[in-house]
Amino acid sequence: MPAMYTDYGYMEEGKLGRPYDLRLMMGLRRFLSPYKKWIGLSLLFVLMMTVLDLSIPYLTKEAIDRYILVSAREVYLSQKGSSEEEELIERYRCFFIPTKEKGRFFLSPEVARKMDRREMSRLQKAGLLTEKRYTPFHPSDEKDLSLISKYPSFFEKGGQHWFIPFDRVKEMEKEDRILLRRKDIQGVLHLVLLMLGILAFHFGLNFFQVYAMEIAGQRMMHDLRMGLFSHLQTLPTAFFEKNPVGRLVTRLTNDIQNVHEMFTSVLVYLFKDLILLLGIIFLLLYLHLELAIISFIVLPFIFFTTFIFSHRARDAFREIRFKIAQMNAFLQENFSGIQVVQLFRQEGHQVRRFQKINEDHCQANLRQISIYAFFVPLVEVLNSGAIGLLIWYGGGKVIQEAISLGVLVAFLSYLRMFFQPIRDLSEKYNVMQSAIASLERIFGHLEAEGREKTFPSTGEVRIKGRIDFQGVSFAYDERERVLHEVSFSIKEGEIVAIVGLTGAGKTSLFLLLERFYDPQEGSIFIDGIDLRQWDPRTLRSQIGFVMQDPFLFSGNITENIRLGNGGDVERVKEVARMVRADLFIRRLPRGYDTLVGEGGERLSAGERQLLALARALYQDPRILLLDEATSHVDPETEHWIQEGLKVLFKNRTVLVVAHRLTTIHHADRIIVLHKGRVREMGTHRELIQKKGLYFRLYQLQFSHSIKH
pLDDT score for 428: 79
pLDDT score for 453: 56
Would you kindly state where each structural domain of the chain is located, as residue ranges? 66-188, 467-703
* C-alpha angle 330-331-337 in degrees, rounded to nearest 5: 90
pLDDT score for 200: 96
Is residue 450 over pLDDT 50? Answer: yes
Backbone dihedral angles phi then psi of residue 544, each to the nearest 5 degrees? -85, 135
Pick the more confident residue, 455 or 203.
Answer: 203
Alpha-carbon distance of 615 to 539, in angstroms, equals: 16
In a 13 Å sphere around the CA of 465, the CA atoms on its Cβ side amount to 20
Alpha-carbon distance of 115 to 98, in angstroms, equals: 18
User: What is the number of other CB atoms lying within 10 angstroms of the CB of residue 6?
Assistant: 20
DSSP designation for 531? G
- Topology of the domain covering 467-703: Rossmann fold (3.40.50)
- Per residue, what are the HEC states of 125-136? HCCCEEEEEEEE
Alpha-carbon distance of 73 to 96, in angstroms, equals: 10
Highest mean pLDDT: which range of 82-86, 143-147, 413-417: 413-417
Is residue 704 over pLDDT 70? Answer: no
Is residue 452 over pLDDT 70? Answer: no
pTM for this entry? 0.74
State pLDDT tens for residues 28-86: 888 888 999 999 999 999 999 999 999 999 999 999 988 888 888 887 776 555 566 66
Alpha-carbon distance of 521 to 506, in angstroms, equals: 17
- Per residue, what are the HEC states of 20-72? CCHHHHHHHHHHHHHHHHHHHHHHHHHHHHHHHHHHHHHHHHHHHHHHHCCCE
pLDDT score for 47: 93
- At 18, the pLDDT band (50, 70, 90 cuts) reads low
Across residues 376-402, what is the average pLDDT? 86
pLDDT score for 640: 65
- At 631, the pLDDT band (50, 70, 90 cuts) reads low
Is residue 615 over pLDDT 50? Answer: yes
Identity of the amino acid at 560 = N
Pick the more confident residue, 402 or 585.
Answer: 585
State pLDDT tens for residues 302-323: 888 888 887 788 788 778 877 8
Across residues 460-479, what is the average pLDDT? 86
- At 7, the pLDDT band (50, 70, 90 cuts) reads very low
Highest mean pLDDT: which range of 391-395, 615-619, 698-702: 391-395
Pick the more confident residue, 372 or 52.
Answer: 52
Ranges assigned E (strand) in 563-639: 623-627
Across residues 182-199, what is the average pLDDT? 93
Across residues 642-664, what is the average pLDDT? 77
Pick the more confident residue, 655 or 563.
Answer: 655
pLDDT score for 98: 79
Is residue 6 over pLDDT 70? Answer: no
